[in-house]
Structures are given as structure tokens and as C-alpha cells.
Structure 1
Amino acid sequence: MMTSLFSIFEPSSSLFSIPLNWLSTFIGILFLPMSYWASPSRWLIIWSQLMQTLHSELKSLLSSSHVGVTLIMTSLFSLIVFNNSLGLLPYIFTSSSHMAMTLSLALPIWVTLMVYGWLKHTQHMFAHLVPQGTPSILMPFMVVMESISNLIRPWTMAIRLAANMIAGHLLLTLLSQSGPHMTSSTLLYILIISQILLLLLESAVAVIQSYVFTVLGTLYTSEIN
């Protein structure tokens, strides 16, 4: 029995004190060894073209000496979009709706960029705290504001991804709970159509949020360079 509305996001299924619902994050590994197929499938061809397009777009945001970052970001996009899409299936735990996962993805990226930037481009990092053309009287305030905005970057990335995943799932849950209490067939049909449309919207959100997370990480990398 569901004790609260947010209990649908709780990884409660466990075996030997191990939360089994978190294993949904690694289900995608079972579908990855497509190189052993005799010929590439249509799904593999479409996915390869999508990754090449994303790689080219991210590469345009970085300098030629840091193109390897795009490989990390495209892999990160694949991980996030797969887990977001899995959450749309019934009885599958959405790991990307938890701050434990989203912050685990955003925080290492931010820490790595900060350590690399302050060690390799110290003057550039100091100059970035004061935008060009800032009046002298506003410089101390701009340093404080830029420092705060830099510190909250991993939290905004993590909260944005988790909140968007939770919001749609909560709305779907609320609509599904109101179905058994409807006596009119017309209202029931409207509810089913609304859920189908909302599910299509959630499918788009799953891809868009993965893309936004990846692009933000790439843009933060381009600022360091």
C-alpha cells in the first residue's frame, strides 16, 4: 500500500539489505553489446547517427584540444536518457528522479572542472569573476555573485533533472488514482487520452532534460578553456 505520494520514488524493494530498484540503472548494459550482431540493426544505426550528431554539436562548443570531453558527455547523455526512458515503463524505478544519482553525476563534473581550471588557468578563473566592462564600484558585488552562481551550478543541474522527472511522474500517478473513482465513461475516456498525451510529453522531457544536462556540462567546460 502506498503510504504517501512520494513513496513511488522510494527504492524499497531489497534483498539482503541491497536496494534492488537501483539495479534498473544498469539494465542498459544488457543491451549494449550490439557489436556481436551479424549486421547492425535499425535501432543501432539510428542511435549511432544520433550520437554522431550530438558529438558534432558538442564539439563546436569546445576548442580542438578538448574534443575528448564530448565523448564523455555523449556517454553521459546515453546514460541519462536511457534511465529517464526506463522510468516511463510500469513498475520500473526511475533512478534519475533521485538527487542521489543526479548529484553524483553533476558534482564530479563540477569538481573536476574547478580543480583543472584553478590549476591550469588561474588568471582566467580570476578574470571570469569580474565580467568585462563592470564598473569599479560593482566589482566586489560581482565577485560575490559570480562565486555564488559558480558554487550552485552542480545543485541546479541535479535539481533540474530530478525535479522534471518527479513532476511528470507525480502527475501521471495522480491521474491514474482518480480513474477508479470516475462513474462517467466520457470522463474516463478523457482521462485515458490525457494520460497518453502526458506520457508522450514525458517522453520528450526525458530526452530534452538529458540534452540540457549534457549541454550545460559542455558549456561549463568551454568556460574553463
Structure 2
Amino acid sequence: MTHAFPAALLGAACLLAAQSATASTVYGIDFPAGDISFADRVVSFTPGFGFGGGVAPCTDASKALGVASAGPDSYLGECNGYVSLGEGGSLVLGFDDNLLVPSGDAAPDLQVFAGGDHDEHFLVLIGMAGGTEDWFALTGTEGSIFLGGSTGIDIDAAAGVMPGMAFSRVMIVDLPRYCNPETGLMEWSVGEACGVDIAHLPYDGPWAGVDIYGLGAISTVPAPIPLPAAGLMLATALGGLVALRRRRG
């Protein structure tokens, strides 16, 4: 006897199971869903400026995708495993095979692997799945502002985020340092003096702006299977059932 129908169902089950993964730990952060947790796609990237007003270096945004594999400490001039947003730059990353969801508690749900020093301030916003343009600002170290460094974020704490919501995009916006001529100090800094020429920023090297080397959804679910794929699975299963009935007849 040929078990066509059970075999078809097994194939469908295997396809569904492929979306799950073994838990993993990356830089000391536990990701229960494993490698599926990390951003898959660069939605948009607008580099900011670097020292002297030019475009910031290290602008390969694809370096922020996948499992975070390179830390923030690289040799001067090297762009290994990270993208520098530049002063005032913005980066939007997307999740294709999974969705970021609220966990319902105060534990971190989203991990932004960010290098750089504490002078590099940035914002993080999340966008809902389904193409809506609504963005929700996440709560950081100082209100909505995050400081440089790898950061775990509880998205449940963000205004407007409710249980049952799902998010497929994350926007990171660097807050540019600039000189406040009234105080003589740099804004978005920690008391740094402007210097002799208040029209220019201090030297930032190749790491102008916040450096992103990974983005992972700790609280996540697999993305729904697109309707055509789901229909194909159903058709395969039904085709197996018809074949089995013919053989038995």
C-alpha cells in the first residue's frame, strides 16, 4: 500500500516546522527562536554625515542583517560587520520570516546590537506588519532616547503597543551631535566642549553616528505562510488523498 496522503501531510508539516529553530545565545542574549529572530532585510537607509560634513564611512547596511557576528570593537578604518548610521542617519530593517511581538511582561523583547560610545544617542521605533505606516517610539534610557551600546528594549512599555500586535520593521535614527553656541557645549553629548571652531563636530573616525551590527527579536513568532504557499500545501495534501482513494478503488 502506498501512503500518499500521510506522506503529503508529512511534507506540509515539515514545511511548517522549518519555520521553527533551536534556541541560541548571541553575545550573552538568549533568543528562544534561534537564528530566525534576526532582521532579514534593509528596508531603507539614509546615511548621515561624518567628520567635516562628508558622508559617514562604513555605510554597507547589509552588515546589520542576520545573526550579529561582529562586535563594536574594530580597528581604525575597518568596517567589519557593522554599519555606521552617521550623524543624523536613519536605518529601517525588516523581519521577513518572523514578527516582533509584545511578551506581556517587562523583559526585553528587542535587542539592538549597537556599538559606539555613550555620546551616540539614537531613537528606536517599530512599525506594524501589514504595510501600515504607523510607527511606535520605544522607551529608552532617557525617555525616548537610547545611549550608545548594545540595548535590550521592552516594547510593551511603548505608548500604543498592545497585546496581539505584531511588528515587521524597526527604525533606528541617530541624533546628530551639534554645537550649541549659547552654552559652548555639544548637544546629545555628555558635556563635551564644542572646540575652537563651533561650526564643526569633533573627530568621530570611521564610526560617525551609532554603529549597528545586529537586530534581533527576542519575543517573536514565525511570520504567517503566504496564501499561495498555504494553498500549495493544501493542494498537495488533497492530491495525495485523491491518489490514495484511486488506488484503494
Larger radius of gyration: 2
